[in-house]
Amino acid sequence: MTEIEKLRDRTYRHQVATACRAIAASGYGDVTMGHVSIFDRDRGLMYIKRKGLGLDEIEWTDVLVHPIEDDDALHTTPMMHFEASMHTEVYKARDDVNSVIHSHPPYAIAMGATEASLQMVNHDAVMFAEHGVPAIDDHDLITTSEQGARVAKALGPARALLLRGHGVLIAGEDVRWSVRAAVCLERAIKVQMYASMLGPLRPIPADVAKDFFKRKYTAKKFLTIADEDKSSDGTSLDEFWDYWERSTRRNDTVVPRQV
Ligand SMILES: [Zn+2]
């Protein structure tokens, strides 16, 4: 591995750890379950949280590296999450996706247990204005490549998918997008739930929501510290990512582990 490759490898590991802790702080923690991955498309390698630890505990050394075309290794690699095939199959199906999140956030699970669908209730919801949030009726654990492929098909071009009775899958252009979408989804559903208790919903009109999304977010490649061009794309996503990095460092404590 060249020095640049080492630097890139370390950066992805740190980004996975930051993402895990960021979503843990936003309602995605479920004991040791839930996972975040980043896809290094140039090398065909997936960086993914290992099992056995909670999202809020992950450090850069807790990240596994897996070639996404090697389906068999998903079931033989020690400490690989059972449901990692969701990640690999989405990366195979979507060349615009380079970060995937799966976990079991309670508000999204509550919505998936009903006939309700996400409404444009606030600025968080506009993250999903273009394609909405579809749902899949497979209530099982997603442990095989065939099941992972069905999840990827149900996701289609969307940013998020409800797995009914189970959890969510989030797909992002990069890890900033996947974390932001994860945070937005749970917040938007929470707001929608409370709003619907107060009275009939008055959502943001669809065309306004789509326009607002375009003005709020501009998708560009997330630069790693190994990239030559370190210029910011100037979106709020950079600012949010810096916040998540600061907040995870602020909460850092050293706790002895048994696993
Ligand atoms: Zn799951």
Whole-number pLDDT of residue 259: 64
How much distance in Å is there from the Cα of 2 to the middle of ligand 1? 36
Rounded CA gap, 38 and 45, in Å? 8
**C-alpha to C-alpha distances, 102 to 109, 139, 229, nearest whole angstrom:** 12, 14, 31
Query: Are the C-beta atoms of 144 and 168 separated by less than 8 Å?
Result: no
How much distance in Å is there from the Cα of 82 to the middle of ligand 1? 9
Q: What is the dihedral of CA 37, 39, 44, 47, to 10 degrees?
A: -40
How much distance in Å is there from the Cα of 98 to the middle of ligand 1? 20
How much distance in Å is there from the Cα of 226 to the middle of ligand 1? 33
CA-closest candidate to residue 81, choices 42, 119, 30: 30
Whole-number pLDDT of residue 226: 52
How much distance in Å is there from the Cα of 40 to the middle of ligand 1? 23
Whole-number pLDDT of residue 172: 97
How much distance in Å is there from the Cα of 166 to the middle of ligand 1? 6
How much distance in Å is there from the Cα of 167 to the middle of ligand 1? 6
How much distance in Å is there from the Cα of 54 to the middle of ligand 1? 13
Query: Are the C-beta atoms of 101 and 117 separated by less than 8 Å?
Result: no
How much distance in Å is there from the Cα of 33 to the middle of ligand 1? 7
Rounded CA gap, 37 and 141, in Å? 18
How much distance in Å is there from the Cα of 110 to the middle of ligand 1? 15
How much distance in Å is there from the Cα of 228 to the middle of ligand 1? 37
DSSP 27: I
- Tens digit of each residue's pLDDT, the chain (259 residues): 889 989 999 999 999 999 999 999 999 999 999 999 999 999 999 999 999 999 999 999 999 999 999 999 999 999 999 999 999 999 999 999 999 999 999 999 999 999 999 999 999 999 999 999 999 998 889 999 999 999 999 999 999 999 999 999 999 999 999 999 999 999 999 999 999 999 999 999 999 999 888 888 764 544 454 555 544 455 688 889 999 999 988 767 666 676 6
How much distance in Å is there from the Cα of 103 to the middle of ligand 1? 6
How much distance in Å is there from the Cα of 41 to the middle of ligand 1? 24
Residue with token string 């068999």: 72
